[in-house]
Amino acid sequence: MLSAQDFKGVYGILPTPATDGADRWDATDTVDLDETARLTEKLIADGCSGLLALGTTGECATLTGDEFEAFADCLLSTVGKRVPVLVGATTLGTHETVRRLRFLRDRGADGTMLGLPMWQPCSEQQAVKFYASISEAFPDMAIMVYANPHAFRFSFPVSFWGAVAEAAPTVTSAKFANPASYLECLAASRSKINFLPIDSMALAFAQQSPDAMTASWATAACMGPQPCVALMKAIDAKDFDLARDITKDIAWANETFIPGGNVEEFGKFNLQLEKIRFQESGYCRPGPIRPPYDIVPDEYAEGARECGRRWSEMVKKYTSTGVRQ
């Protein structure tokens, strides 16, 4: 099982590529399996150390059960254990999550990126018990806590990390985005959990704890992971001057991505804007957005397209070895 110390480099987050017409209410079998396999191979070849799938960007919430299984089977069989893969299984309740995780375990997933049931927000005690139950059910599968307060209506406080590290031993990582509480959460978990930041925050985390920050996550990888890989290599080499330059480039590319810089507003259009910028970059073919999230204001979409165009320039600038061209 993946331990906290096993997470290294860039974990690219995949969309679930969609076939033409997937945005219709009567669409069925919407997963583009050929593009899934092609993108998976490309991300590995271009330097991703691991892959994450079926979260928000992966449209986990809008896939049917059959589509979930078709995508996961294609992804995992394509990877063939070459890099670690953590596949999302977030649902509205523990029983359905367990059912999905049985499928993923049997297909060879290394672990799961798992958020909380959110129809009714969880208390801290409920949240800890949820992860403890999954840990008991699947003692050989690593859990990456999907710590998104906006999506799951739970603040993931410092006290939660201490409790979940004790109650759920297979929780060994977290998809995390709060540099202000990073050191407190790391200490609360007694370093049993690797808190992976988004690429744009990786340097800020590394400057706080250079030895603990060993991996990052990146939806931007699906526009080309080269800048993210270059950043993590610079951080690993403790070349913080180079890491600072790459971080500035990433900030420039993302300048138009968050509508008005408003994270709350972005949360209403997260997956749409991700797929739009992926498409514009030319790196992958994410396909149509599945309903009901297939609506996005034109000005927001244009901001995402500009991000995709800028990122494609960055891919030309950085190679997967971290050396500038």
Cβ-in-10-Å burial (0-12, 13-18, 19+) of 96 comes to: middle
H/E run at residue 29? none
Is-contact 86 109, C-beta < 8 A? yes
Q: How far apart are alpha carbons 257 and 83 in whole angstroms?
A: 29
Burial 25-47 (b: 16+ CB within 10 A, else e): eebeebbbbebbbebbebbbebb
Cβ-in-10-Å burial (0-12, 13-18, 19+) of 83 comes to: middle
Residue 64 among known ligand-binding residues: no
Residue of 11, 131, 175, 233 marked catalytic: 175
Residue of 146, 283, 300, 318 marked catalytic: 146
The question of whether 146 is a catalytic residue gets the answer yes
The question of whether 11 is a catalytic residue gets the answer no
Q: How far apart are alpha carbons 200 and 217 in whole angstroms?
A: 9
C-alpha torsion sign, points 168, 124, 177, 203: negative
Binding positions are 57
Q: Catalytic residue numbers? A: 146, 175
Binding-site residues for pyruvate, in ranges, read 57
